[in-house]
Structure 1
Amino acid sequence: MTIRTYQGLVYPAQCDAMGHMNVQHYVGAFDQAHWHLMAACGYDSDWVTTRREGWADVRYEIDYKRETRAGELFVIDSAVRRVGTKSLTTWHRLSSLDGTVRAELLAITAYFDLELRRARELPDIVRAGALALVEEP
């Protein structure tokens, strides 16, 4: 199931020499969307400090479809594509308000023990929430 995970605006300072949003800002927007998707799966951002558990990005595959320019509003819709033992594969689509797809991200993110610095099994609540949001491509 696809859900809305982020809304934003491209500021002039986020644009590169070619006049469109720079790659670093696409990644930043996708990262914001990811945190909202994880919350929808049942992850509590307080776990970073209370349980010392979080997320580690393992792979990002971004397809840039169309330029996004200063002053444009955009949205990101996201879904879970795969639920593993210790990781999630997620998909995010950045679009203009008229629905024009500007970029898509396929990401693999591991659930991470911040003390031991290694992947750990997904908590049951996150697994159940992620399974409820699985959408086939």
Structure 2
Amino acid sequence: MDVTYQGTVYPWHCDHMGHMNVMWYVGKFDEATWHLFSRIGLTPGYLRSHDRGMVAVDQRISYRQEVLAGDVVVIRSALLEARSKVIRFCHRMENAETGDTVAVTVLTGVHLDRKTRRSCPLPEEQLARATAMVTDYDPGL
């Protein structure tokens, strides 16, 4: 799994119970997603110039440990599956100090033609990169 995000939990990320709120887990996972997509060639430039997009059609999250203000987190990502129009991938968020897994998410994304609002095949080059990166990692969800 490759590092796709590193960051800090700030006090404003925490809810009234004192731990990072779920919306911030999703936000940090989203940032990791765009780094992962860029590695396979689904860059902002490609998406803009070809009028394409990526949409999440399924997301599952397992929260394993609380994350508190001041904690530093690292997200490692892996591609689990690459098909003509679909990419399935996971992110594992870790506490950078302890190495403990604090959350895991698995997402399914679909390549989209933004004009027609319909799924469309990934370009051969991006699909080949994605396929080469697929691993048999078991996210445990």
- Range of TM-score over shorter length: over 0.9
- Segments of 4+ moved more than 6 angstroms: none
- Equivalences for 1:1-137 in 2 at 5 Å? 2-97=1-96, 98-136=98-136, 137=138
**Matched residue type, 1:78:** S
**Matched residue type, 1:12:** P
**Matched residue type, 1:104:** V
CA distance, structure 2, for counterparts of residue 99 and residue 125 of structure 1: 35
Instruction: Tell me how many residue pairs correspond in the alignment.
Output: 136
TM-fit CA distance, 1:47: 2.4
CA distance, structure 2, for counterparts of residue 8 and residue 117 of structure 1: 33
**Tell me, what secondary structure is at the counterpart of 1:92?**
strand
TM-fit CA distance, 1:44: 2.1
Q: TM-score, with normalisation over the residues of structure 2?
A: 0.93
TM-fit CA distance, 1:8: 0.8
- Mark the runs of 5 or more structure 1 residues left unpaired by the alignment: none
**For 1:5-43, what per-residue CA distance to the aligned partner results, in whole angstroms no more than 9, with x for missing partners?**
000100100101111111110000000000000111122
CA distance, structure 2, for counterparts of residue 11 and residue 123 of structure 1: 39
Counting aligned pairs with the same residue, the percent is 37
**Matched residue type, 1:112:** L
TM-fit CA distance, 1:49: 2.1
